[in-house]
Chains A and B, each alone.
Chain A
Amino acid sequence: MAISRCRPPPSPEPVALAATPAVELRRITKRFPGVVANREVELTVAPGTIHALVGENGAGKSTLMKILYGMQRPDEGTIAVNGNEVSLRRPTDSIGVGIGMVHQHFMLADNLTVLENIVLGAEPRFPVLLARRRARDHIVELGRTYGLSVDPDALVEELGVGERQRVEILKVLYRGARIIILDEPTAVLVPREVDDLFRNLRELRREGLTVVFISHKLDEVLAVADTITVMRAGTTVATVDPAQVTARDLANLMVGHELPSPETRTSTVTDTVELSVRGVRVAGAGSRPALDGIDLDVRRGEIVGVAGVEGNGQSELIAAVMGLADVIDGEVHLGDVDITSWSTRHRRQEGMACVPEDRQRDGLLLDAPLWENAALGQQTEAPFANGLFFDRIGARRRTDEIVESFGVRTPNSDVRAGALSGGNQQKLLMGRELTAEPRMLVAAHPTRGVDVGAQAAIWDQLRQARADGLAVLLVSADLDELIGLSDTLVVLFGGRMVARLDPATTSLEDLGCYMTGTDPAGGGDLDVDAASAAAADVAPGADPVAPTAAERR
């Protein structure tokens, strides 16, 4: 893995176990209506260290950090910064005591320059020209000190994701922060950018700053942190030294029980092509198509993974397969039937299912009860339909079945879908699509925002369905998930299919190169035309039914 290679030489033991902690949270409790988000949380962060906070979604990490950043007030407990007890009522209080936060979603104005973004909200009260020069000097100096190189005059809209993140960090430093909270900073980065980020973090530590790093990617945490605190069910359960634990230990601490070991992979791929995409083109916003010349086969019992940085045609591919996009060229076949002109409903009735990218937007009726949500997508078929009527009894029975067998945690099936946690919504969705026993499943980000326990369950269900002969087109931003589950991996870049890879032999670096349009051999820009021709060559596709040479296992 990319990151483990950049693991630093054993870092000098955090200097100051005896020194005053940079942050000390004592017995913090925070309740929301009906939920205790944090209960008696204890956290001590030594100065000049990188302290990671890990835990499942909903374990209370974000609430705790919001409390530390003054966005939420704790109901009980005390906060001490550098030994002094403080009361943080709003973010400006936190900034005042030297705490800064880099949010997961960047808060930058695209049409302003880096410099303008950094001073925005912290403008000094001097004449503008002078302030600019001072601000620029200050930013350049900060950049030099901490190794955060960004051109202060560049427009933010022209920057890549990694650079934007550096701007966010500079913004926090500019305001004089000595303690920096980073909320899932690696979620949006490709492996190489993650390496850069970690280098920056070590730079900050060397200059004596304290970094609190929230993540649920355990290998990253192990690579960069000096101390790791694990949260579970709203409280801190352990603080460990990364040198003493493995990722597996951490995962067990996070979920509170031993996780089963990974199954050995046995191929269940058959020769029967279930879905076949031939030369599909979908129009984009501008003159360039959003998707062009895609050739893809998914066989019974096969999971085909689609990798790519978001916005490179994945959404359009899902839409084209499900009949939600206008396919301007090419064909889609289900089995040996041309379904290009079929409506979404017709496709679903013939055994296609879809777990959409954004479950709340495209997959659920948040204000409707679970039993209506369970019907969505299958409302024309038994047990949800009875002639022209909707079968409420059948729908409830099926919903109870899904709740039971997919472990959806809910008091009953009359609850609004919006009241469930994200993971449970996703389990309901997976249950809904798989219980219909489809021939072909399009699963987009099936475990996004889902905690480790639910993630394992969903992976298991996908694997089981695959063993039962389901053809799966898996779109995901989680590379571990793609490599782990897929039988074949394709990469989309700029709407083209630039690589077809065997996940067993592909390295994360190569995958990252293809995803960012870099030539893995030379490091220069990828020749997209040649690459997509090569990827298509593997599956010469005039006859969609004939087994192709794609099977390399």
Chain B
Amino acid sequence: MRSDRVALSLVAPALAVALALAVSTLVLIVSGNSPEEVFGLLGEQLTRVGELTKTVNRAGPYYISAVAVAVGFKMNLFNIGVEGQYRLAGVVAAGAGVALPLPGPLRLLGVIALAVGVGAGWAGIAGALRAYRGVSEVISTIMLNAIAFGLTPFLLTRYFQEEAASGTIDFATRTAALPGGGRLPSLDALVPGGLPSGVHLNAFVILAGLVGVGYWVLVWRSRFGFDLRASGANPHAARTSGVDAKRMTVFAMLISGGVAGLVGLSSIIGAAPYRYTDESFLAGLGFTGIAIALLGRNNPVGIAFGALLWAFMDIARTPMSRADLPREITTIMQGITVLSVVVAYQVVSRIARRRDAAAIARQVDDDPEGGTSEPSGGAARVGSPA
């Protein structure tokens, strides 16, 4: 039965991939593009160290963003506010991180702590509103996003902007660069065969890995995670079992926001320019994280595959346009993949349920006395039960 379960859990992704490929091919044919050409290009990209490294670099923030969303999903909380949480956390961590009076690597920890703190705090507002005032976290995080989008440039220009060197006129809005101690070490040496010039392996991927392990331990192995999942699966039963729903809501949002705070650190502690600038700081990662969390079914390994796939398709845009193919193809294929995964898992879980029911029925059939094998010593309904 357990091996059955493992087999079933492999069937679903296989089905999803097959479905995604089939629908994508169909869309390519209908839109007048050559599937061979597109898939050929993608296949070629798989063999290039440079493109693969870029994929991994891009997947790191995606992964963390998706984990942030997934933490909420595990408790039926929809944190749409990852976008605002990581932008705000990014600017504060970069701006205040420079000013931290900490030596060497401690500064790195300080920057990370700042990002986590700001993200958690911002999401915590939505958590508290939900727990104690009944405000839907969907609404409040959307509103908090809007506030964060305004607050971020305000903080940047007002408090964190790098002082222009005297005599020069510089309109660029950016923080000062983090000193060396606040940066992650380079991993370029680890890539076999070396990297093409201009490409670096961002050590941020290690942070993403740690977040993934932490997420797995917290949700699937800890007592807290049990309460979290129970609250998500059946809030009434969780409450009856002694879980404090309000407290769990606040904690889940704090954790989700704390993880979200890390998303923007990729270009602050992991790669050039090691500072916050409007140009280098990627926007939209929070919303992409929602799609990737769906793609990965909130599972730490699934999300990793989802993040890599998504990043791979992103990177494929440049070769596509170079080959005179519409670059939107990649976006369409990303969408098709998410839908395929949703459909495939639904189908497989139905099959699994049916098999469960059949297994139980078989067991009942094996026992012809059907329902009477209890060690009963009581009375029938006939008389009174005493």
Task: Please report A residues at the B interface, Cβ cutoff 8 Å.
Answer: 33-36, 56, 58, 216-219, 232-233, 246-248, 250-252, 255-257, 259-263, 265, 322, 324, 343-349, 354, 356, 361-368, 372, 375-377, 379-380, 385, 388-390, 392, 407, 409-412, 414-416, 419-421, 423, 427, 451-460, 463, 480-481, 483-485
New contact pairs (12) apart from A34-B359, A365-B234, A390-B226, CB-CB < 8 Å:
A35-B361, A217-B381, A260-B378, A263-B386, A361-B236, A362-B239, A368-B233, A390-B221, A409-B367, A459-B385, A483-B384, A484-B383
- Whether a CB of chain A sits under 8 angstroms from the CB of B133 is no
Contact B237 A365 (CB under 8 A): yes
Q: How far is the CA of A247 from the CA of B383 in the complex (A)?
A: 8
Pull 15 A–B residue pairs with CB atoms less than 8 Å apart, ordered by A. Answer: A219-B382, A255-B372, A257-B372, A260-B378, A345-B242, A348-B242, A362-B237, A377-B241, A390-B222, A409-B360, A409-B363, A411-B1, A411-B359, A411-B363, A423-B371
Contact B379 A324 (CB under 8 A): no
Q: How far is the CA of A439 from the CA of B227 in the complex (A)?
A: 24
Min CB distance A273 to B, Å, is: 23
Min CB distance B121 to A, Å, is: 24
Residue of A nearest to B377 (CB): A460
Contact B374 A456 (CB under 8 A): yes
Q: How far is the CA of A98 from the CA of B382 in the complex (A)?
A: 34
Min CB distance B227 to A, Å, is: 7
Residue of A nearest to B2 (CB): A414
Contact A344 B356 (CB under 8 A): no
Q: Taking A34-B360, A409-B364, A411-B360 as contacts, is the C-beta distance between A454 and B237 under 8 angstroms?
A: no
Contact of A262 among B223, B364, B372, B385 (CB under 8 A): B385
Main secondary structure of the interface of A (DSSP, over half): mixed
- Whether a CB of chain A sits under 8 angstroms from the CB of B301 is no
Q: Taking A233-B371, A411-B359 as contacts, is the C-beta distance between A354 and B382 under 8 angstroms?
A: no
Contact B243 A415 (CB under 8 A): no
Contact A255 B371 (CB under 8 A): yes
Contact A33 B379 (CB under 8 A): no
Q: How far is the CA of A248 from the CA of B381 in the complex (A)?
A: 9
Q: Taking A348-B242, A459-B385 as contacts, is the C-beta distance between A256 and B375 under 8 angstroms?
A: no
Contact A375 B226 (CB under 8 A): yes
Min CB distance A512 to B, Å, is: 16
Task: Please report B residues at the A interface, Cβ cutoff 8 Å.
Answer: 1-2, 5, 221-227, 229-230, 233-234, 236-244, 353-354, 356-364, 367, 369-386
Contact of B222 among A256, A260, A389 (CB under 8 A): A389
Q: Taking A218-B381, A248-B382 as contacts, is the C-beta distance between A361 and B1 under 8 angstroms?
A: no
Contact B381 A324 (CB under 8 A): no
Residue of B nearest to A348 (CB): B242
Residue of A nearest to B217 (CB): A389
Residue in B244, B353, B361, B381 whose Cβ sees the most chain A Cβ within 10 Å:
B381
Residue of A nearest to B243 (CB): A345
Contact B385 A453 (CB under 8 A): no
Residues of A within 8 A of B243 (CB): 345
Q: How far is the CA of A260 from the CA of B359 in the complex (A)?
A: 31
Min CB distance A361 to B, Å, is: 5
Residue of A nearest to B359 (CB): A411
Q: Taking A257-B372, A377-B240, A460-B377 as contacts, is the C-beta distance between A250 and B382 under 8 angstroms?
A: yes
Contact B237 A415 (CB under 8 A): no
Contact A251 B370 (CB under 8 A): no
Min CB distance A8 to B, Å, is: 20
Contact A419 B356 (CB under 8 A): yes
Residue of B nearest to A345 (CB): B242
Residues of A within 8 A of B224 (CB): 388
Residues of B within 8 A of A412 (CB): 1
Residue of A nearest to B232 (CB): A365
Residues of B within 8 A of A390 (CB): 221-223, 225-226
Residue of B nearest to A357 (CB): B240
Contact B237 A484 (CB under 8 A): no
Q: Taking A34-B357, A368-B233 as contacts, is the C-beta distance between A410 and B384 under 8 angstroms?
A: no
Contact A256 B370 (CB under 8 A): yes
Q: Taking A256-B369, A415-B360 as contacts, is the C-beta distance between A33 and B354 under 8 angstroms?
A: yes
Residue in B353, B373, B377 whose Cβ sees the most chain A Cβ within 10 Å:
B377
7 shortest A-B CB distances, which residue pairs?
A34-B358, A345-B242, A484-B384, A484-B385, A456-B378, A251-B380, A457-B374
Contact A410 B363 (CB under 8 A): yes
Q: How far is the CA of A420 from the CA of B357 in the complex (A)?
A: 8
Residue of B nearest to A460 (CB): B378
Residue in B224, B230, B362, B374 whose Cβ sees the most chain A Cβ within 10 Å:
B374
Residues of B within 8 A of A216 (CB): 381
Contact B372 A453 (CB under 8 A): yes
Residues of A within 8 A of B364 (CB): 409
Contact A376 B230 (CB under 8 A): yes
Q: How far is the CA of A442 from the CA of B227 in the complex (A)?
A: 22
Residues of B within 8 A of A349 (CB): 242
Contact B379 A260 (CB under 8 A): yes
Contact A419 B234 (CB under 8 A): no
Q: How far is the CA of A172 from the CA of B324 in the complex (A)?
A: 71
Q: How far is the CA of A366 from the CA of B230 in the complex (A)?
A: 10
Q: Taking A409-B360, A411-B363 as contacts, is the C-beta distance between A419 and B381 under 8 angstroms?
A: no
Min CB distance A504 to B, Å, is: 9
Contact A260 B1 (CB under 8 A): no
Q: How far is the CA of A372 from the CA of B384 in the complex (A)?
A: 35
Q: How far is the CA of A459 from the CA of B369 in the complex (A)?
A: 20
Contact B379 A459 (CB under 8 A): yes
Residues of A within 8 A of B378 (CB): 260, 262-263, 455-460, 463
Q: How far is the CA of A255 from the CA of B177 in the complex (A)?
A: 80
Min CB distance A254 to B, Å, is: 8
Q: Taking A259-B376, A420-B360 as contacts, is the C-beta distance between A251 and B237 under 8 angstroms?
A: no
Min CB distance A462 to B, Å, is: 9
Min CB distance B183 to A, Å, is: 33
Q: Taking A35-B361, A480-B384 as contacts, is the C-beta distance between A457 and B376 under 8 angstroms?
A: yes
Q: How far is the CA of A388 from the CA of B240 in the complex (A)?
A: 21
Q: How far is the CA of A365 from the CA of B356 in the complex (A)?
A: 16
Residues of B within 8 A of A457 (CB): 374-376, 378
Q: How far is the CA of A480 from the CA of B380 in the complex (A)?
A: 11
Contact B371 A451 (CB under 8 A): yes
Contact of B377 among A34, A263, A423 (CB under 8 A): A263
Q: Taking A265-B386, A416-B353 as contacts, is the C-beta distance between A480 and B240 under 8 angstroms?
A: no
Contact B241 A456 (CB under 8 A): no
Q: How far is the CA of A345 from the CA of B358 in the complex (A)?
A: 37
Residue in B1, B230, B370, B378 whose Cβ sees the most chain A Cβ within 10 Å:
B378
Min CB distance A353 to B, Å, is: 11
Contact B361 A407 (CB under 8 A): no
Q: How far is the CA of A322 from the CA of B222 in the complex (A)?
A: 25
Contact B239 A324 (CB under 8 A): yes
Residues of B within 8 A of A365 (CB): 230, 233-234, 237
Residues of A within 8 A of B241 (CB): 344, 348, 376-377, 379
Contact B244 A389 (CB under 8 A): no
Residue of B nearest to A381 (CB): B223
